[in-house]
Structure 1
């Protein structure tokens, strides 16, 4: 092996020598240097089967990793055979102190919040200047993300049944495609906002070192440029997934929160969950490949990662909740509490009807079916609310709709919006005896609702049967009603 000024053959202390390997590389540690060789393997998604391919990969690894760790990636060197001819290539690196490996620190319970915050800032800064362009933007589309998922499903299929549970795998596929089918506008918007970058794409805690002068991030994905073209949030989600895998879910959440703050990147919680799930499944597939190579613990790793994938895909599900009922039944209290618990957007007809064009001069207290509440204005209010809900749902936000939903003709369009956006629909109808509802109505102060006891009575006579809804008794304590309302939502989680 030749490299000016460096020779691993020099005398080193015995305890300074070591070796580590992954499914596609071997790293030899000698003194204060590390030497990384590519394995001569063809795994389908990467091909290092020839010397020329391994040379290209080594040079590419050096170039790409110097973006985040220029003082770690030193050079590319030849490996010579007994006749002095080049038989392989390797990457020469500055050796990092194993005791400062992020994965080690996390598993030891060391407080690394300050280091991880610096890492989030570093990653956001890296993304702000990362390469962008039409080719990279193309990787951010719904179709491109779908292809990445489907390719990984195909790569894992041979291990389903033997390593990965078939039922769990099938649910992962269903939940993934359901999310993607309804979120094209969200992904298109992120492309327009420049969120798709030439990133790292392999942010594992074992490849990050927390040094006094700042973190060092190693080993980006170099074998396929297209796989490195990712949403910046997707890049960050990889490390969040790994921190959770290591038993630090709170730290993972903090890291994503810091990344969002430093990158000023608006993003929905559902998309973050989806990206965490994707990264978990990629690692599950890699664990399956390691299992096939004879690594004993890899099968259990794959199983844990598929469970993690499933958990985040469930959390990413988009939901539309209709909360209806007569005035005084407490539907607004229930709707607000559910929205808070779900992290959802709350839309209320009582507020929206006043925002519609042409309603400023209409009487709010003209009586049932007149003024602001004539059939045309009521329909327009519901239509506007559903238009807003459709936009929110397609952009990855769950939505709670607070309205009377007294007409069956207004409910069906809401169901159509749920189908169109692949949202999980829950319908709730709040009910309470008249003798409880009426005092609530008369006691209202400063509420957006204009309903009176007389209007409530007339609405009751025209309230269409709602068999599809779960009826929520709101005559008791609010927390009891809210807990009851949460049950059908909780059951709808897969």
Structure 2
């Protein structure tokens, strides 16, 4: 085969997975299915093993047409068929992607070519209504639940119960609030009949291009996935091998060749799903007598949880009186989270248009407030601004973006509306109130230049008199250095995320891995 070069195929070898045995002799590989029933596959009959071999050959010729040579039967002395074998060209083991990565070889060119190959494969793959259904919320949840059920016998002995429990809660929470996102991707034709099992062990980096072997053949529905889900399998495996930078680069190149990646939370979710698929497989290998598979299963479960946590969709309310520094905190927090920040000040300006000069005799003074300013902050106009703020936030949360809402939040009813939004969109909620001494806040207001906020000192004083109690919020002292306040808010957000995971399914939450982190 082109690209094998001077590879040494003189030695015989044997390889084994949870469902097959491969014998290497000369320049050929002979793959035989195990007569096992693992729940998600059943190869206990000769007929089933024949069908699996033929299906594997047909499907894998899509990405490696010159590797899969044919299916032959094995007969006994009487000429009766006893089993079936898939005959393949033997790949040079030294060019296996996992081997190269572990050896520290530069594989960036190979990964870029692999991303190009996978993108082209997905572009021509079927994506009809039957395939598209595989990317919708019900199908994604079903796959997760099946995998979680498959690990139940191993919880305790192999997998940590707390880890598995949190995985289940975070999965239900994320998918429960992202139906619009998943349905939109299915309608856009982004769910394809993919590879389904893209691992670094099954990719060979040859001079004339990569060869991708061993796609999932035993259940078509498990291959009907979002293209990013398919690519995320290899990204997960690269991360498992200790190369998160390569994982991020590979997904970036895949996005380049497909028109862009989706929101980071969805990428994290798909990487998590793939890690847990392999965690289940490692559990099965442990049950088959492979003791080292226990550590692998635990590593993969931890990787699953890491990405699910990173992919949580968060709604953060950053409130406080004018001049307390809430906008500085909100902007810096949004940068850390990769979130969208929305401000009532911006919405208020959009609703009213550009600021006009105050009427004669009502120019702002240090101790005064114009009728123009009072008009900006009437209860009716404030409510309209908050209503628009939450409307925009709902759209963003539904599509998987985290959102930071910068507003005074002095009205308890507006906070209640935000809490309902967090519940409706299955988003982790954090409530923060920025505080500072009155003299600090008033000095900041007077020194503002070019800020969106038009609140005067008198507006701030009036808001302080009417500010509804906010016991649910974490109070952050913002009188000192902004970076200290941001760090305190970041700690509160991370704490709320953990509380949210524990509270998922009970009416809503209170309070490095290289892939979009």
Is it true that 1:290 corresponds to 2:294 in the alignment? Answer: no
Once the two structures are TM-superposed, the CA of residue 355 in structure 1 deviates from its matched residue by 2.8
Residue in 2 that maps onto 1:106: 101
Once the two structures are TM-superposed, the CA of residue 20 in structure 1 deviates from its matched residue by 0.7
Where 1:493 maps in the other structure, the secondary structure is: helix
Q: Which moved more, 1:189-198 or 1:253-262?
A: 253-262
TM-score with structure 2 length normalisation? 0.90
Where 2:51 maps in the other structure, the secondary structure is: helix
> Superposed, which structure 2 residues align to 1:45-194 within 5 Å?
45-194=40-189
1:423-461 residue CA offsets vs partner (Å, 9 max, x unmatched): 111111111112222222222222211112222222222
Q: Which moved more, 1:380-389 or 1:256-265?
A: 256-265
Query: 1:363, 1:17 → 2: CA distance?
Result: 85
Residue in 1 that maps onto 2:213: 218
Once the two structures are TM-superposed, the CA of residue 205 in structure 1 deviates from its matched residue by 0.4
Is it true that 1:404 corresponds to 2:408 in the alignment? Answer: yes
Where 1:69 maps in the other structure, the secondary structure is: coil
> CA contact under 8 A between 1:196 and 1:230: conserved in structure 2?
yes
Query: 1:438, 1:118 → 2: CA distance?
Result: 59
Where 1:16 maps in the other structure, the secondary structure is: coil
> Superposed, which structure 2 residues align to 1:389-468 within 5 Å?
389-468=393-472
TM-score with structure 1 length normalisation? 0.94
Once the two structures are TM-superposed, the CA of residue 256 in structure 1 deviates from its matched residue by 1.4
- Which protein, 1 or 2, shows the higher relative CO under an 8 Å CA cutoff with sep ≥ 6? 2
Once the two structures are TM-superposed, the CA of residue 14 in structure 1 deviates from its matched residue by 8.7
1:172-204 residue CA offsets vs partner (Å, 9 max, x unmatched): 111111111111111111111111100001001
For residue 196 of structure 1, the aligned residue among 184, 191, 197 is: 191
For residue 478 of structure 1, the aligned residue among 479, 482, 491 is: 482
> Superposed, which structure 2 residues align to 1:306-455 within 5 Å?
306-356=301-351, 359-360=352-353, 366-367=370-371, 370-455=374-459
For residue 235 of structure 1, the aligned residue among 230, 236, 243 is: 230
Where 2:324 maps in the other structure, the secondary structure is: coil
Once the two structures are TM-superposed, the CA of residue 338 in structure 1 deviates from its matched residue by 0.2
> CA contact under 8 A between 2:32 and 2:84: conserved in structure 1?
yes
Where 2:237 maps in the other structure, the secondary structure is: helix
Alignment coverage as a number of residue pairs: 480
Q: Which moved more, 1:154-163 or 1:197-206?
A: 154-163
Residue in 2 that maps onto 1:274: 269
Where 1:347 maps in the other structure, the secondary structure is: strand
Query: 1:189, 1:138 → 2: CA distance?
Result: 11
Where 1:210 maps in the other structure, the secondary structure is: strand
> CA contact under 8 A between 1:318 and 1:424: conserved in structure 2?
yes
Structure 1 unaligned spans of 5+: 1-12
> CA contact under 8 A between 1:364 and 1:372: conserved in structure 2?
no
Where 2:42 maps in the other structure, the secondary structure is: coil
For residue 208 of structure 1, the aligned residue among 185, 203, 216 is: 203
> CA contact under 8 A between 1:364 and 1:450: conserved in structure 2?
no
1:5-49 residue CA offsets vs partner (Å, 9 max, x unmatched): xxxxxxxx9942111111111111111111111111121211111
Where 2:430 maps in the other structure, the secondary structure is: strand
Closer, same or farther in 2 for the Cα pair 1:451/1:442, shift >3 Å?
Answer: same
Once the two structures are TM-superposed, the CA of residue 363 in structure 1 deviates from its matched residue by 5.9
Once the two structures are TM-superposed, the CA of residue 76 in structure 1 deviates from its matched residue by 1.6
Where 2:31 maps in the other structure, the secondary structure is: strand
Q: For the aligned residues, what is the CA RMSD?
A: 1.7
Once the two structures are TM-superposed, the CA of residue 403 in structure 1 deviates from its matched residue by 0.6
Query: 1:258, 1:333 → 2: CA distance?
Result: 34
Once the two structures are TM-superposed, the CA of residue 326 in structure 1 deviates from its matched residue by 1.2
Where 2:328 maps in the other structure, the secondary structure is: helix
Residue in 1 that maps onto 2:515: none
Q: Which moved more, 1:66-75 or 1:226-235?
A: 66-75
Once the two structures are TM-superposed, the CA of residue 468 in structure 1 deviates from its matched residue by 1.1
Q: Which moved more, 1:360-369 or 1:121-130?
A: 360-369
